[in-house]
Amino acid sequence: MTTRRAWIRRLSLLPLLAAPLSRRMALAGLTAPRGELAADVVIVGGGVGGVAAALAALREGLRVVLTEPTDWIGGQLTSQAVPPDEHPWVEQFGSSLSYRAYRSCVREYYKKHAPLTVEALADPFLNPGGGGVSRLCHEPRVGLSVLVDMLAPYASLGRLVTLLEHEPVRAEVHGDHIRAVVVRNRRTGGEATLTAPYFLDATELGDLLPMAGVEHVVGAESRAETGEPHALETADPGVQQAFTVCFPIEHRPGEDHTIDRPEEYAFWRDYAPELSPPWPGKLLDLSYTHPITLKPNNQGFDPVKGTGLWRYRRILDPSIYRPGAYDGGGVTLVNWPQNDYLLGPLVAEGQTAEQAEAHVKRAKQLSLSLLYWLQTECPRPDGGAGWKGLRLRPDMVGTDDGLAKAPYIRESRRIKAEFTVTENHVGTEARRKALGRDDVDAEPFWDSVGVGSYRIDLHPATGGKNYVDVSSLPFQIPLGSLLPIRVENLLPACKNLGVTHISNGCYRLHPVEWLIGEAAGTLVAHALATKQSPKAVRADRKRFEAFQNKLKARGVDVAWPKVTPR
């Protein structure tokens, strides 16, 4: 039951949440209530999954507290600055109504506000950046604006409190239930205690799991544990996918925007990853390991012609703007093999927060060193070296240094779940071997709460492991993978669900994370409405079907038509 005092605290935040975007995003994190704040569900982590979970819970009438360690909600789409990695059918099926609404709003934002050409305005499938990685490469700030607007009506109604620049510091647990999570304001140091019947862990690294004593896994499992063809012979918690500090760069031909030589440039210029299978040479080079063949690969880089790595994650395409509206050469988002950080994980036994932050600081030095190398030493097609016209675009990511607000996280702690998805459930070759035929589908899950499709794509990892990139089949998200084996009132809402180090490679991207969060937020609402625990919902087929029908009614796809493996 929400106390009158808690309601007053919550309502005191509404003027900020109704303020213009720039002001409310900058100030909302400074107004955290002292003492206790109650809600129907507390969502810790405001990334893709956290926002989707909040929207789902709010849509069902719940009162929500959403926390976020940065001053931007949106995670991969915004603070981490990564254009969405999506499957080729996303425009038609294989996601949810709310995710497609987000995508439509991004396009409408450009058509409403940007000086586009007539052709761009008429394009129903406008790709603002024209990047090759997605049909909707867009600027992080646009994604932020859209997500804030999607949540704004619920803030105005007093059902949503967003605590920006807040991070969890401890949890209060009684038996198999979490009673409260304490969060700290990163700017002021003040603390607030958040209470609710349910908590969702939507943090990028699964931070609530150790705080609440939730059984979980870190790093790579062994083949004996999972039976996966690509698992390691021996489990190694230190083998975790590299994280990346991304950054946007613009090309201004004829200008010189060379940055100061980074402090660690000498180290990174000479650094050659020691991986198995081998990396072809130095990290700061256009040649790198092809993710699938594991042979040397060089896409090239030419910001003048707009080819190679330049176009890969381009987020601003000059050709869609009216003549005279923009005089630059476009903007690309640098999230490449060359700035994957391999010197240490962010989650390790006994590692302090300060040690993890030191890795982030070095990853920033790597990204700045890559930019300096591109500006000064990168081979050009004309035989010269360096592109001095490359410049950072700090305005696009909301930082002083021009780097993304937060590192792009590919791998999290993962719950020990009632059901764990492995490569054997979704890998193309693994399924063909198990079934003895070529025409196969992913394992069908009777308790599906969403779908996804992406290759099993593991970037080079700490601990000396190179790419694992193999075909997977369009898959489902089983409810069992969202249920911890013991704790009753915590659910994962992003990459921390019941998957393995290997299967995480296809469950970790934007649209799947959105659906994980949407399923978790809807499940909490269903559990409260029916007075059934999440585990009880899954334990009875009729109860589960009632919940699954609710997801379907809300526009969530829970099954695939026949499509080709990725």
pLDDT tens figures, 152-164: 999 999 999 999 9
pLDDT at 34: 57
pLDDT tens figures, 396-446: 999 999 999 999 999 999 999 999 999 999 999 999 999 999 999 999 999
- The answer on pLDDT for 94 being more than 60 is yes
Distances (CA, A) of 199 to 11, 49, 446: 21, 13, 25
Three-state SS at 164: strand
Report the DSSP pairing between strands 160-164 and 301-302. unpaired
pLDDT tens figures, 7-27: 323 333 333 333 444 444 433
Which range, of 33-37, 122-126, 384-388, 520-524, averages the lowest pLDDT?
Answer: 33-37
In a domain, 353, yes or no: yes
pLDDT at 562: 82
Query: What is the domain extent for residue 368?
Result: 243-397
Mean pLDDT of 51-74: 98
Mean pLDDT of 166-178: 98
Confidence of residue 291 (pLDDT cuts 50, 70, 90): very high
- The answer on pLDDT for 33 being more than 90 is no
Percent pLDDT > 90 in the chain is: 92
Look at the chain and count its residues: 566
Mean pLDDT of 261-267: 98
Q: How far apart are the first and last CA of the chain?
A: 48
Confidence of residue 194 (pLDDT cuts 50, 70, 90): very high
Which range, of 16-20, 281-285, 385-389, averages the lowest pLDDT?
Answer: 16-20
CA distance 101 to 114: 19
Residues 394, 460, 293, 495, CA torsion sign: negative
- The answer on pLDDT for 469 being more than 60 is yes
Mean pLDDT across the chain? 93
Structure tokens at 505: 């490679």
pLDDT at 354: 95
CA distance 402 to 327: 20
pLDDT tens figures, 317-339: 999 999 999 999 999 999 999 99
Confidence of residue 563 (pLDDT cuts 50, 70, 90): confident
The count of C-alpha atoms lying within 13 angstroms of the C-alpha of 345, restricted to the half-sphere facing its C-beta, is 26
Closest-CA residue to 363 (of 280, 279, 271, 239): 271
pLDDT at 564: 73
In a domain, 311, yes or no: yes
In a domain, 289, yes or no: yes
Q: How many domains does the chain have?
A: 1
pLDDT at 16: 35
In a domain, 348, yes or no: yes
In a domain, 247, yes or no: yes
- The answer on pLDDT for 2 being more than 70 is no
Distances (CA, A) of 397 to 234, 333, 462, 501: 40, 10, 27, 30
In a domain, 235, yes or no: no
In a domain, 298, yes or no: yes
Confidence of residue 566 (pLDDT cuts 50, 70, 90): confident
In a domain, 386, yes or no: yes
Mean pLDDT of 444-472: 97
pLDDT at 65: 98
